[in-house]
């Protein structure tokens, strides 16, 4: 199986697509991508970077792409920001923590799950994030990173439960660097318009982005804040990325609660 030459028929538009573009495409190409021409160029750039990273992961014997068949399958994961020729026959690799395309589809789906609450007088969107930078130095990644992921997952779950939102979601994201990890707890909640950040949040050093409204633009900005792609997955050394991917295996690093859970099931 050879690399597919994706022939783009049309660039995706709409608020869910824009939210995914802001969260994933913009950080990777390091600029705002607004026109269709720029989006096509960005898709080519991301395709090249993703295929290079996959080859490096294969050479490092990373388990998810250790065989040539699986490697090629992932290299042909269909881009998320456009409709391509023979779209119906394309498949996705489902490596959602690292694949830019599958990560973007995850962002798109989160926006769609919340879209029904746009325009509601009873809801506003709020993003909460906290970030820890851990320098690795001489500490083996598996000995330190996995316990940190467990801690941050429990912390996010605790905060989400304590906030008692109408609906919400959290994810723990690791953005790898060669000498450090940037670990983020990211929460997105649906709350009453009169809601304000409680004082106890300060003990968790949470950065609060309060949209103050329930418009499509506010939702897109909130989703972007919570779902920004960890760019180190494509730019850090292969060893640093494999270290993070292995630490994340079999870890519960995300959850959806309340009305969003019902929307997702529907």
Among residues 85, 101, 117, the one where a domain terminates is 101
d(CA 149, CA 245): 12
Of 262, 261, 240, 266, the C-alpha closest to 98 is 240
d(CA 179, CA 206): 24
What predicted TM-score, i.e. pTM, was given to this entire model? 0.92
122 in the same domain as 26: no
* Whether the Cβ atoms of residue 172 and residue 147 lie closer than 8 Å to each other: no
- For 156-205, how does the pLDDT look when each residue is reduced to its tens digit (9 = 90+)? 999 999 999 999 999 999 999 999 999 999 999 999 999 999 999 999 99
120 in the same domain as 73: no
* DSSP state at residue 87: G
- The pLDDT of residue 1 is 64
On whether residue 28 sits in a domain, the answer given is: yes
CA max distance for the chain = 57
Burial profile 177-207: b = 16 or more Cβ within 10 angstroms, e = fewer = beebbbbbbbbbbbbeeebeeeeebeeeebe
130 in the same domain as 34: no
Of 17, 50, 48, the C-alpha closest to 34 is 17
116 in the same domain as 226: yes
User: Structural domain tally of the chain?
Assistant: 2
- For 218-243, how does the pLDDT look when each residue is reduced to its tens digit (9 = 90+)? 999 999 999 999 999 999 999 999 99
124 in the same domain as 20: no
Using the predicted structure, report yes or no on whether residue 265 has a pLDDT greater than 50: no
- The pLDDT of residue 259 is 86
Among residues 101, 122, 142, the one where a domain terminates is 101
d(CA 152, CA 138): 22
Residues spanned by the domain of 35: 8-101
């Amino acid at each position: 199986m050879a690399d597919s030459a994706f022939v783009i028929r049309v660039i995706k538009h709409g608020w869910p697509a824009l939210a995914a573009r802001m969260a994933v495409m913009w950080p990777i190409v390091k600029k705002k991508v607004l026109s269709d021409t720029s989006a096509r160029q960005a898709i080519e750039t991301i395709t090249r970077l993703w295929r290079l990273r996959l080859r490096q992961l294969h050479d490092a014997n990373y388990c998810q792409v250790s065989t040539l068949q699986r490697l090629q399958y992932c290299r042909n994961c269909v881009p998320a920001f456009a409709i391509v020729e023979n779209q119906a026959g394309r498949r996705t690799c489902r490596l959602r923590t690292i694949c830019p395309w599958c990560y973007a589809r995850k962002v798109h789906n989160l926006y769609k799950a919340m879209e029904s609450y746009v325009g509601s007088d009873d809801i506003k969107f709020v993003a909460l994030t906290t970030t820890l930078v851990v320098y690795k130095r001489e500490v083996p990644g598996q000995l330190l990173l996995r316990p940190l992921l467990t801690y941050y997952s429990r912390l996010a779950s605790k905060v989400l439960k304590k906030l008692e939102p109408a609906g919400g979601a959290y994810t723990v994201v690791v953005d790898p660097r060669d000498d450090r990890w940037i670990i983020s707890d990211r929460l997105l909640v649906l709350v009453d318009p009169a809601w304000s950040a409680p004082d106890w949040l300060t003990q968790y050093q949470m950065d609060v982005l309060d949209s103050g409204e329930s418009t499509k633009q506010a939702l897109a900005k909130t989703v972007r804040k919570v779902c920004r792609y960890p760019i180190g997955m494509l730019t850090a050394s292969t060893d640093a990325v494999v270290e993070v991917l292995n630490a994340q295996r079999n870890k519960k690093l995300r959850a959806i609660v309340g009305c969003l859970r019902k929307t997702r099931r529907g």
